[in-house]
């Protein structure tokens, strides 16, 4: 009897094991087919390679620079499953993206990333000093209404980016991976994800219902998502000055030099970044020593005496870097399943240090738009809804973009007497203090993103310059110069405004997308 019972138990266990194996195989087969169906329907729930155990991904972000890292953390904190792919995880070494205006710092606080400027030897920036022909004027940020911690911040760009990458990667639902995205995966005009090459050289694909491209000013993906019209008005030559002090501590310095401006600002407690603007796309050769000669003979005499010895020492040290200054208006091509952000999407001359402020402001706008959506799978509805992003971002972005382009043109020296009168008028207007300096510096700092205020101050400078020419007694020659000054001012600002979009810039509430509500996405 015992033998029969044992035999029966054995058969029962074997049968139960077989049934369990069949059941598990059926479940696995069902899950695999379900995954394949989702991939085919661009549901974005399955990824090939690079995943955390095959977890679903809500959003792929291409690029982990300033915009990509901040966006990954922001969306990850909202519960989105984010896969961010960055070409190079080593600490970046750039000569721009080192100055964050107070308006950008306020957005950083709003995103919960303000601790990323801590422990990197970042310096507080309280305003600007403007220097011209031995004269100088100090323009302080209007920070009286803000908490004492609110100010600009300047730092090493790479240290800041590494802190944000670490913060993003600390979230369990954010995967930060090193790889080079080679193309967007499209089907029927809808972006389904990306194809990328891993650090080891393996070709993989990743899928998600929304792909956000943030791969910077050298983006190789932007042509699919926008109509890029990149202008390169000048190049920056960057040096690091050591063992010296700025004439006005904790201030950025703009030297109205000939032929174009020079910037100086602290990037650590012992280092000052100096950026020499050289108009055009061609710079003197460093290999032949032409660059060093140019900096010593043309630029050094225009550097403030407090900085001159350190400037020459930096040239002799040989650590000279160059960077083209790009300008590109936002010209999106709304594409289902994809979005473009950061310098890949919109650039302005870096003279005013407004790039990071625009990026963080855009992230706040996008976060607020995506927050009410429970899923992102209806690509066409999502694309139509996100058209509102391009309108809602305009007041901040267009103000900073227009100011950067206009100031650069005004601050450059010229052989045209009317242009030089405009330059002189701008310096003297800002030197008046009160509303004449607080208004423009509030615009520059991102604290007052109002396009109408920008236009009002710009033409106030032109009228101020015209008025000065009429004193003490107007003459036909002075009236002619004044007329050309006002005409030149119009020629500077109106093309920039046109490129930004008059309606979206000044009357965003008249754009239908402004009122777009979240689509029903069950």
One domain for residues 100 and 223: yes
Please determine, for residue 272, whether its predicted confidence score (pLDDT) is greater than 80: yes
One domain for residues 269 and 335: no
Rounded to an integer, the average pLDDT of 432-453 is 95
One domain for residues 477 and 359: no
Residue 206 domain-assigned?
yes
One domain for residues 247 and 311: yes
Contact 489, 463 (CB under 8 A): no
Calpha distance 217→489 (Å, rounded): 29
One domain for residues 255 and 360: no
Residue 521 domain-assigned?
no
pLDDT at 55: 54
One domain for residues 254 and 204: no
- At which residue do the structure tokens 């695999």 appear? 32
Residue 144 domain-assigned?
no
One domain for residues 96 and 210: yes
What's the pLDDT tens digit per position in 127-149? Answer: 999 999 999 999 999 999 999 99
Residue 136 domain-assigned?
no
Give me the CATH number covering residue 246: 3.30.70
Residue 394 domain-assigned?
no
One domain for residues 222 and 345: yes
The residue segments making up the domain with residue 319 are 231-327
One domain for residues 406 and 478: yes
Give me the CATH number covering residue 214: 3.50.50.60
Whole-angstrom CA distances from 494 to 52, 324, 501 are 51, 24, 10
pLDDT at 82: 98
What's the pLDDT tens digit per position in 167-185? Answer: 999 999 999 999 999 999 9
Residue 143 domain-assigned?
no
What's the pLDDT tens digit per position in 196-233? Answer: 999 999 999 999 999 999 999 999 999 999 999 999 99
What's the pTM value of the predicted model, to 2 decimals?
0.88
* 3-state SS, residue 181: strand
pLDDT at 300: 98
Last residue of a domain, one of 285, 308, 327: 327
Residue 141 domain-assigned?
no
pLDDT at 4: 41
Mean pLDDT score of the chain, rounded to an integer? 90
One domain for residues 273 and 322: yes
* Domain count within the chain: 3
One domain for residues 235 and 224: no
In the beta sheet, which residues pair with residue 136?
A: 131
Calpha distance 132→238 (Å, rounded): 20
Please determine, for residue 312, whether its predicted confidence score (pLDDT) is greater than 70: yes
One domain for residues 80 and 99: yes
Residue 435 domain-assigned?
yes
* 3-state SS, residue 332: strand
């Amino acid at each position: 009897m015992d033998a029969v019972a044992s035999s029966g138990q054995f058969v029962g266990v074997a049968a139960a094991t077989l049934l369990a194996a069949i059941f598990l195989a059926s479940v696995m087969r069902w899950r695999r087919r379900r995954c394949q169906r989702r991939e085919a329907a661009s549901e974005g729930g399955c990824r090939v390679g690079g995943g955390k155990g095959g977890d679903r991904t809500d959003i792929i972000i291409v690029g982990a620079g300033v915009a990509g890292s901040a966006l990954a953390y922001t969306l990850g904190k909202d519960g989105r499953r984010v896969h961010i792919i960055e070409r190079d995880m080593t600490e970046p070494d750039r000569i721009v993206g080192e100055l964050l205006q107070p308006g950008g710092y306020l957005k950083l606080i709003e995103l919960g990333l303000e601790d990323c400027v801590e422990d990197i030897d970042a310096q507080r920036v309280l305003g600007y000093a403007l220097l011209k022909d031995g004269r100088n004027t100090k323009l302080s940020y209007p920070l009286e209404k803000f908490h004492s911690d609110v100010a600009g911040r300047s730092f090493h760009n790479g240290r800041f980016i590494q802190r944000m990458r670490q913060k993003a990667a600390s979230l369990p639902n954010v995967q930060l991976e090193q790889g080079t995205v080679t193309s967007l995966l499209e089907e029927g005009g809808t972006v389904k994800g990306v194809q990328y090459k891993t650090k080891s050289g393996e070709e993989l694909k990743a899928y998600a219902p929304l792909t956000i491209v943030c791969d910077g000013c050298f983006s190789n993906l932007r042509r699919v998502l926008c109509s890029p019209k990149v202008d390169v008005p000048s190049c920056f030559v960057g040096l690091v000055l050591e063992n010296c002090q700025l004439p006005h501590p904790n201030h950025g310095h703009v030297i109205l030099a000939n032929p174009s401006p020079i910037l100086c600002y602290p990037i650590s407690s012992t280092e000052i970044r100096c950026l020499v603007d050289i108009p055009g796309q061609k710079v003197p050769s460093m290999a032949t020593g032409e660059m060093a000669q140019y900096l010593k003979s043309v630029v050094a005499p225009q550097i403030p005496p407090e900085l001159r010895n350190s400037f020459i020492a930096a040239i002799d040290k040989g650590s000279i870097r160059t960077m083209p200054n790009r300008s590109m208006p936002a010209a999106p091509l709304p594409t289902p399943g994809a979005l473009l952000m950061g310098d890949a999407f919109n650039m302005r001359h870096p003279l005013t240090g407004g790039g990071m402020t625009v990026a963080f402001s855009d992230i706040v706008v996008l976060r607020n738009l995506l927050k009410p959506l429970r899923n992102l799978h209806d690509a066409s509805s999502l694309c139509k809804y996100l058209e509102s992003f391009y309108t809602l971002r305009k007041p901040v972005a267009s103000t900073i973009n227009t100011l950067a382009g206009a100031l650069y043109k005004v601050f450059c020296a010229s052989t045209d007497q009317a242009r030089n009168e405009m330059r002189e008028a701008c310096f003297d207007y800002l030197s008046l203090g009160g509303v004449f300096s607080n208004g423009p510096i509030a615009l520059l700092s991102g604290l007052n993103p109002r396009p109408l205020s920008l236009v009002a101050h710009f033409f106030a400078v032109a009228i101020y310059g015209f008025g000065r020419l009429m004193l003490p007694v107007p003459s036909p020659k002075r009236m002619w110069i004044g007329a050309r000054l006002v005409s030149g001012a119009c020629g500077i600002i109106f093309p920039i405004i046109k490129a930004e979009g008059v309606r979206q810039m000044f009357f965003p509430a008249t754009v239908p997308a402004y009122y777009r509500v979240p689509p029903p996405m069950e």
